[in-house]
């Protein structure tokens, strides 16, 4: 293989590794933000359950207060019933007592319904709290791990940049300029492996004579279809 071509292959591999590492480092703040957003949603779900539980408790206390007042009123009505002097007053008093008793039963039924709803809500709130705390711990650990990986990633990037400069220095200026021109036009991929008489980048068949020359000579050749520099990988 042409020694310059060998360096270009190493250069392209190195630039790909640099791009991958740079992407990994640049994505850390975004991923951190996504994790924090997830923690925020879990917290909001817990707070919603907690607020509902509190609201149900307030409604229960209000109804219990109304029932206590109604019982006091009912007790007073029953005492007054003994003092009425006419059938009309007696009938009216009985109607009022019956209305009060019905109201008390209705409110007590509502209290029982609220108690059942509260029991279910408290279970959901506990589950939401457990999920929130578990998720928060996992998120904190993941954020810590990502932040701690940054120095090692940046150190590896620095080493790869040094390797890149070394490979560039070992390639003829004109050939390096061709490599850069093709890479800029082909999304960073200037070289393509020739395998089974096909260009691995564009998948177009290579002319038989060109493929034979690739196998036997060190001449720099370009794909007739995508213009990338062709190479045959060493066994």
In this predicted model, what pLDDT tens digit does every residue of 30-60 receive, in sequence order? 999 999 999 999 999 999 999 999 999 999 9
Is the same domain home to 87 and 139? Answer: yes
Share the mean pLDDT of the chain: 92
Is the same domain home to 143 and 29? Answer: yes
Question: Taking the alpha carbons of 83, 85, 91, 93 in that order, is the dihedral positive or negative?
Answer: negative
What's the pLDDT score for residue 197?
A: 92
User: Taking 90 as the threshold, does the pLDDT of residue 233 lie above it?
Assistant: no
What's the pLDDT score for residue 79?
A: 86
Going by C-alpha positions, the residue among 18, 16, 10 that lies closest to residue 231 is 10
In a domain, 185, yes or no: yes
Compute the average pLDDT of residues 2-20. 93
What's the pLDDT score for residue 1?
A: 77
Is the same domain home to 91 and 139? Answer: yes
Of 123, 158, 193, the residue that ends a domain is 158
The token pair that represents 120 in the structure block: 């279910």
Is the same domain home to 44 and 104? Answer: yes
Question: Percentage of the chain with pLDDT > 90?
Answer: 83
In a domain, 12, yes or no: no
Give 193's contacts (C-beta < 8 A, 6+ positions apart).
200, 230, 231, 232, 233
Number of domains in the chain: 2
In a domain, 149, yes or no: yes
Residue carrying structure tokens 């996504």: 34
User: Taking 70 as the threshold, does the pLDDT of residue 85 lie above it?
Assistant: yes
Q: Count of residues for the chain? A: 235
What is the CB neighbour count within 10 angstroms for residue 50? 15
Is the same domain home to 131 and 45? Answer: yes
Going by C-alpha positions, the residue among 60, 52, 198 that lies closest to residue 123 is 52
Is the same domain home to 41 and 141? Answer: yes
In a domain, 217, yes or no: yes
Q: What is the pLDDT of residues 207-219, one digit of tens each?
A: 999 999 998 888 9
CATH number for 106: 1.10.287.1490
In a domain, 196, yes or no: yes
What's the pLDDT score for residue 235?
A: 59
Q: How many helices (H) and strands (E) does the chain have?
A: 4, 4
User: Taking 90 as the threshold, does the pLDDT of residue 7 lie above it?
Assistant: yes
Q: What is the pLDDT of residues 94-118, one digit of tens each?
A: 998 999 999 999 999 999 999 999 9
In a domain, 75, yes or no: yes
- The dihedral over CA atoms of 19, 180, 230, 167, expressed in degrees to the nearest 10, equals -70
Domain residues for the domain of 98 are 25-158
Is the same domain home to 123 and 64? Answer: yes
The pairing of beta strand 229-231 with beta strand 191-195: parallel
Is the same domain home to 135 and 78? Answer: yes
In a domain, 7, yes or no: no
Of 130, 158, 186, the residue that ends a domain is 158
Is the same domain home to 51 and 122? Answer: yes
In a domain, 163, yes or no: no
Going by C-alpha positions, the residue among 80, 9, 53, 3 that lies closest to residue 229 is 9
Is the same domain home to 150 and 186? Answer: no
What's the pLDDT score for residue 80?
A: 87
């Amino acid at each position: 293989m042409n020694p310059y071509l060998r360096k270009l292959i190493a250069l392209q591999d190195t630039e790909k590794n640099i791009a991958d590492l740079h992407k990994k480092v640049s994505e850390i703040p975004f991923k951190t933000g996504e994790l924090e957003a997830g923690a925020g949603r879990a917290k909001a779900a817990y707070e919603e359950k907690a607020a509902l539980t509190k609201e149900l408790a307030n409604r229960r206390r209000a109804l219990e207060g109304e029932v206590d007042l109604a019982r006091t009123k009912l007790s007073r009505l029953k005492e007054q019933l003994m003092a009425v002097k006419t059938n009309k007053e007696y009938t009216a008093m009985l109607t009022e007592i019956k209305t009060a008793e019905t109201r008390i039963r209705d409110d007590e039924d509502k209290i029982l319904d609220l108690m059942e709803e509260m029991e279910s809500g408290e279970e959901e709130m506990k589950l939401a709290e457990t999920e929130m705390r578990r998720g928060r711990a996992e998120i904190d650990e993941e954020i810590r791990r990502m932040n701690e990986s940054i120095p090692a990633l940046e150190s590896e990037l620095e080493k790869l940049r040094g390797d890149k400069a070394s490979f560039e220095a070992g390639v003829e200026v004109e050939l390096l300029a061709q490599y850069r021109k093709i890479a800029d036009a082909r999304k960073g991929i200037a070289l393509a492996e020739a395998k089974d008489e096909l260009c691995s980048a564009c998948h177009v068949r290579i002319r038989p004579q060109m493929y034979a020359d690739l196998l036997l000579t060190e001449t720099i050749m370009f794909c007739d279809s995508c213009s990338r520099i062709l190479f045959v990988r060493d066994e």
